[in-house]
A and B are shown apart, each in its own frame.
Chain A
């Protein structure tokens, strides 16, 4: 296991380096001088001095290789650069403030997704072609087909028109007012988790279908175990590996979905910060957020891989 873990961890170093190079290069694709672009966006006239200052602030007055090395040096020390639009606040502070909210949203969404998906998938698999199976297959296909933003709007529409209820506006901090916070976060999490629920249910169904035909399931039944125990201890336990991998991947993907859900439900998370920085052409912030998200996903995938190795010895020695 230790060797496997070390190998996995070593493999993410080139990946993270490449991720940083990709982000850096894409941000430099910006045609022309970023400082000039940013200044000419505003209506106000600007002086040569302001242009020079902004270039210095962005660091674009130096050779590109040096810019990259300095940027990486800063990243390693937790310095994500300075925001342009927010009065020169350090980006790390902005990101640090908002990441916990997005994480809360993502964790809630994945919990909702798994809690509904696994039973749905299992029932569907043990009774194939039954009405429940057809229903769950249609629900899951609808689930992966409805775009996140439409799911979000539908949730708002159904609750406001159907029940005349909307979550309290604004944003309450989880630690200051947990109840208010959960009320506000539940709907966005539900809208966000719907796709993942559908996806995980489909994977659960197909992996349970394969396992049900295995010899050890027949043996377990033959020795007189109760059906419930056969399904949970022998069936689900073996089906859990692909479910876990998919859930891990989906968790990474949720960072993308939160951008949309946060903008619908006005959650002040990392997604809204990302959109704001796109509109305000705040490239240092945009660059920092993208790299933080990408590296988080690399790390989440690594953890999933390690967990996979821990649970299934076949992976470790392959």
Chain B
């Protein structure tokens, strides 16, 4: 136990002293990531900025997203940066508030879906036998449904509240995560350190937790990044099709729906800006995913 006594005593344990590899600090690793993958770093900045925008939307937005602040259909101008919609609501403020739903739904579904998928994937691969076989057949069956159709079916039945959409997305993300993690664990399972742990009589849950889990963390991070883009697009698509989150809350997909579809020839800014917001965020996510994959886990390349 090291307690902070204010002295410059290095809190090095015996175990760490034995490790002769030069250990990189987190900051240093982030620094080297920025140097080797500048575009990945820019993408990470865009994503962090979007999350920041979503959290502080009420402070950042110049107008209330629901109030009729302008004349209807004003083109982008100094007073309304991105123009106004058919009712006179400020498009820029609505795009800012739209980040809230997208980021909440995306992050929540990825966090739950990929975590659950990782746990199930590890158990499926490590335990094997009939459990593995059953899980894999269910994964096969779930993979037969295109994401958007699964989402439509589930929200049609469950209803389309924000949390139901998250639940539907979790079901959509699960099979892919289970499959990728399972494939990794199948090879980790045969590696010497796992066999050694088994040989000294470690219990299965300990091996899964202490030896296998830390070795799939890289895949977990990469998977989460890549699927975040997918989750955001599906949420927006549902709202676009009119079965997503209700029209009272500004969402990027919602802004693109009927109104924008109807006015695409007369007021292009109604569709283009929310569409750009989604595309830029997803673009950044995909770019970061690529960069992280190259850095953390080259084995995942091409998946």
A: which residues have CB within 8 A of B? 14-15, 18-19, 22-23, 26-27, 29-30, 141-142, 144-150, 153-154, 156-157, 160-161, 203, 206-207, 242, 252-253, 255-257, 259-260, 263-264, 274-275, 278-279, 281, 286, 290, 293-295, 297-298, 301
Contacts and interface: CB of A to CB of B under 8 A. Distances in A.
Contact of B152 (A14, A274, A295): A274
B135 to A, nearest CB: 11
Contacts of A203: 302
Interface in B204-261: 229, 233, 236-237, 240-243, 253, 256, 260-261
8 contacts: A19-B144, A29-B158, A144-B286, A153-B256, A157-B271, A256-B146, A259-B241, A286-B153
A66 B285 CA distance: 47
B144 A275 contact: no
Contacts of A294: 144-145
Contact of A153 (B140, B141, B275, B283): B275
A264 B261 contact: yes
Contact of A147 (B140, B147, B154, B282): B282
Contacts of B299: none
B243 A153 contact: no
Contacts of B236: 147, 149
B148 interface: yes
Interface of B: 137-138, 140-142, 144-149, 152-154, 156-158, 229, 233, 236-237, 240-243, 253, 256, 260-261, 264-265, 268, 271-272, 275, 278-279, 282-283, 285-287, 290, 301-302
Given A141-B287, A263-B241, A255 B149 contact: yes
A193 to B, nearest CB: 15
B172 to A, nearest CB: 10
Nearest to B148: A256
A200 B145 CA distance: 20
A145 B283 contact: yes
Contacts of A23: 153
A29 B290 CA distance: 38
A18 B286 contact: no
Contacts of B279: 142, 145-147, 150
Nearest to A260: B237
Given A147-B233, A259-B241, A206 B137 contact: no
A260 to B, nearest CB: 6
B262 to A, nearest CB: 11
Q: Interface centre among A157, A160, A207, by most B CB within 10 Å?
A: A157
B155 to A, nearest CB: 8
A156 B301 CA distance: 35
B149 A256 contact: yes
Contacts of A150: 256, 271, 275, 278-279
Given A153-B271, A257-B148, A294-B145, A160 B265 contact: yes
A161 B265 contact: yes
B57 to A, nearest CB: 21
A29 B287 CA distance: 38
Given A18-B140, A22-B141, A207-B302, A252 B146 contact: yes
A242 B142 CA distance: 22
A154 B272 CA distance: 8
A156 B282 contact: no
Contact of B146 (A15, A264, A293): A293
Contact of A286 (B147, B156, B253): B156
Contacts of B156: 278, 281, 286
Contacts of B268: 157, 161
Nearest to B282: A145
A157 B270 CA distance: 12
